[in-house]
Structure 1
Amino acid sequence: MPTRTMKAIRLHEFGGPEVLRHEEVPVPVPAPGEVLVRVHAVGLNPPDWYVREGMPGIPEEFRPSFDLPLIPGTDVSGDVAAVGAGVRGLAVGDEVMGLLRFPVLMQGGAYAEYVTAPAADLARKPASVDHVHAAALPMSGLTAWQYLIEVGHGHPSPFQEAPHRPPALGPGTTVLVNGAAGGVGHLALQLAKWRGARVIAVASGAHEAFLRGLGADEFIDYTEQRPEEAVRGVDVVLDAVGGPTSRRFLPAVRRGGALHPVYFGEFDDEENAERGVTVTGTQVRSSGAQLAELGRLADAGTIRVAVDSTFALEDARAAHRRAARGHIRGKIVLTVA
C-alpha cells in the first residue's frame, strides 16, 4: 500500500523565513492516546520564529535540541481524521483546537495538512468560532490564562525557583498590560476585565480604538509617553513584551503588588524585595481543559480573538516576514486548504 502524503512546511536548516520549505511528506500516524487532526488553520507564535532561527539569544542551558528536518508550529484548529488507541471522548469528524506538545517538543508539527495531537492537548472548537480564530487562541490564550487566572500545573519554571501564583483579580484591582495589542496582551486585557479589574492598556497609538473596544479603561501610547512614568500604584503589571527592559515597570507597581514578564527578563532580587514587588513568570503548557474554558468564554462573546492577517500554508515565508515587521494586532494565522 503506498504511503499517504501531505503538504507541510519544513526546516532543513536554521535561518530567516527563506529556510521554510513547502514540501510533500508522509501523513503521520497517531500513537496511543493521540488523534490525527486534519488541519484547517494554524496560529503563529514567537516560538515558531525562535526555533526557525535556532533560538538565538536563549541561554544555552535553556536551549532545547532539535532534530532536522522539522515541521514547525504548535497551534491548530481542525477536525479529527483518525483516533488512536485508548482515546475517549473524541471521534472522527469532531472539530477541535489545541496547543500541541508545548513546551515538551517546542514545535508540534502544525504547519501541515495533518498533524498528530495528544488528546489531552485538545479542546472542542466552539461552533460559533471559525477555524481561523480558533487557531489564533491556544498559545496566547493559555499564556494569559496561566499568568492571570490559574497556572493549572505543578511544573517548575526553568527560568526561576519561585512558583508563579496568578494574582487575585477583582473590583478594586488595577492591571497594566504592556504590549496590549498583541496575541497575549489583547486576551489578557479581556480576562482581567472578565474578573472585574480596571485595565490600563499600553500600545502604540494606532491601537487605541481597538483596545478601548475590548474594554481598556485607560490607554497609554508608549510612543508619546513612558508608561512606567505615567502611572503609579497599580496592583499588577503583565508585561507581554518582557525581556531585559521589563524591570522598568517596577516603580509603577504598588508595594505588595506583582510584575509578571511573559518573556523572562533581568531583575535584581534585592531591588524587588526593597520595593515589595513580587516578580514571577511561568512557562505556558498545553492544556485541553483550560483551552475548553477559554473556548466557552469565546463562545459567549466574553473574549474576542483578533486576527492580524492570514496567509495560505504555502505562504509561510510571507507570514514570518509579516511577524518580523512587528506591531501585530492579535495573531497571524496560516490557512490550510
Structure 2
Amino acid sequence: MTTTPTTPKPPAGSAPDIAIEARGLRKAYGDKTVLDGIDLSVPAGTVFSLLGPNGAGKTTAVQILSTLIGADGGEARVAGHDLVAEPQAVRAAIGVTGQFSAVDNLITGEENMLLMADLHRLGRTERRRVTAELLERFDLTEAAHKPASTYSGGMRRRLDIAMTLVGRPRVIFLDEPTTGLDPRARNAMWGVVRELVAGGVTVFLTTQYLEEADELADRIALLNGGRLVAQGTAAELKRLVPGGHVRLRFTGPAAYETAARALTGSVRDDEALALQIPSDGTQRELRAILDWLDAVEVTADELTVHTPDLDDVFFALTGPAATVPAPAPAPARNDSAEENAR
C-alpha cells in the first residue's frame, strides 16, 4: 500500500507541541449559550475526543476551531495560528470531515478526488499522483471509476477522508465520522484514524459512540450544557464514578472467612465464596489488597478488577443533577483479624 509523507514526531522526552489550544471559548445564539467558556489543549500527534449529549455544543466547537463560524468570546490557536488573526493559515493546515459526507454522488470517486485537488490548486501531474496514492491508501482503486452513489456507507466515508487528506493537513477534525456505519465499516474507520495519527496527524474527534472514544482517544473531554465537566484519559474519567471494585474468589471456606475478617468493608458472597472490594483499580490499591492477604497468609484463587466504562461516566456527568462523585473508599484493614489469624 502506498503511503504519504509523515509529519516528524518530537524526540522522546521532549515537550509535545500543542496542535489546538483554546481559552474561554464562548458562543451563543440569541439567549441560548452553546459554549460557555471552554478551555482545550490538544498535543500534536494525538487523538482528542469531545463527547457530549445532543445539543451539548460539540459541532459548534468544531465549527469555531475550523474557522467555519466565529466565537463570541475567548481565543484559540490551531496548528500554531490564531483563529482570528490568521484564519487562512489555519485553513491551510487543517482538514474537516463533517457529520454529513462532502462526497458528490453524481460523479466518480476519482473525479471527487480530482475536484478536491483542483480546489487545493495542485498542478496536473501532482493532482493525478496524489489522487492515485490516496485512492490506493483507502482501498478505493477498484471503485475509482464508479459513481459515488454506488458506494457503501463505509466506502463513502473513506472517500470523504481521502478528499480531506489531499491538502496534507496537520490537524483533522472528524465530526461523528462513523455515524450510520455498520460495525465492520466502523472498525475499518478506526484503523484509518490510527494510521493518520501514526503519521503525525492530530485528530479532533467528536462521536456519540463511547466505545469509539475509549478505543481511539489519548484524551477525552466531556461537554454538557456548553461547559466542560471533565477531561482526562479514559482511565482517569472512569475513576470519577463509583462502581469500581476488585472481586476475590476462594475455593476453601477457611481462606474465605479469614480474608473476609481481614478486609472489613468488603461485600460477601457466601455462596460463591467471593468478596467484592470497592476500588478504583489502581496498582497501589491492588498491591495493598494483596499485601493484606499476604499478612494473613491467604491466597485468592481468582482476582478480577471491574471498572466503570465510559457509558457510566457519560450518564453520571451529563444527567439532570450531574456532579463528579468522589471515588469509593477502600476497605479498612482489620488489624485485629490479622493478629488473630497469626
Q: Same-fold call, TM > 0.5?
A: no
> Larger % of helix: which?
2
Structure index of larger Rg: 2
User: TM-score if structure 2 supplies the norm length?
Assistant: 0.28
